[in-house]
Amino acid sequence: MNKQRELHKIYLRMRLTSVFFLKNILEGFDNQYILTTLDTQTGIVSISYTEGSDEELIAILDSIKEITAHEILNPKPEQDLMISGKIEDDHNAQ
C-alpha cells in the first residue's frame, strides 16, 4: 500500500542572491523539500514539505538565517499569504 503524505508550504521573503544557495541546501535532503520562486522582484519563495518535517525545516532555516536574510511570512501552513494586495491560498488553488 502506498500511503501519500500531505504537502504543506511555508513562504519566505529573502535575498534574491540567496535563493540558489537555499535551493542547494534543501536538495541535500533528498528532495524532501521543494523550493519555488514566486516573485523575483521581492524575493518571495515557497518551500513545499511533507507533514512531520516542519521542525527540521525550521531548524535548517534558523541555521542559515544570517546568510539568507530571510523572513518567514507564514509560520503555520494553514495561514494565507498576502502578496501585492492579493490573498494567495494554496489549499484552495488546487
Question: pLDDT averaged over the chain?
Answer: 78
Let me know if residue 2 belongs to a domain.
no
Let me know if residue 1 belongs to a domain.
no
Query: In the predicted model, is pLDDT for residue 70 greater than 70?
Result: yes
Let me know if residue 42 belongs to a domain.
yes
Comparing 36 with 31, the larger pLDDT belongs to 36
Q: What is the C-alpha to C-alpha distance for residues 31 and 43, in angstroms, rounded to an integer?
A: 21
Place of cell 507564514: 74
Range of the domain at 38: 7-93
CATH at 29:
3.30.70
Q: For residue 7, what pLDDT is reported?
A: 83
Domain count, the chain: 1
pLDDT-derived band at 94, boundaries 50, 70, 90? very low
Place of cell 494586495: 85
Q: What is the C-alpha to C-alpha distance for residues 73 and 9, in angstroms, rounded to an integer?
A: 11
Query: In the predicted model, is pLDDT for residue 22 greater than 90?
Result: yes
Query: In the predicted model, is pLDDT for residue 73 greater than 70?
Result: yes
Q: Give the model confidence (pLDDT) of 79-89 as tens digits.
A: 444 433 333 43
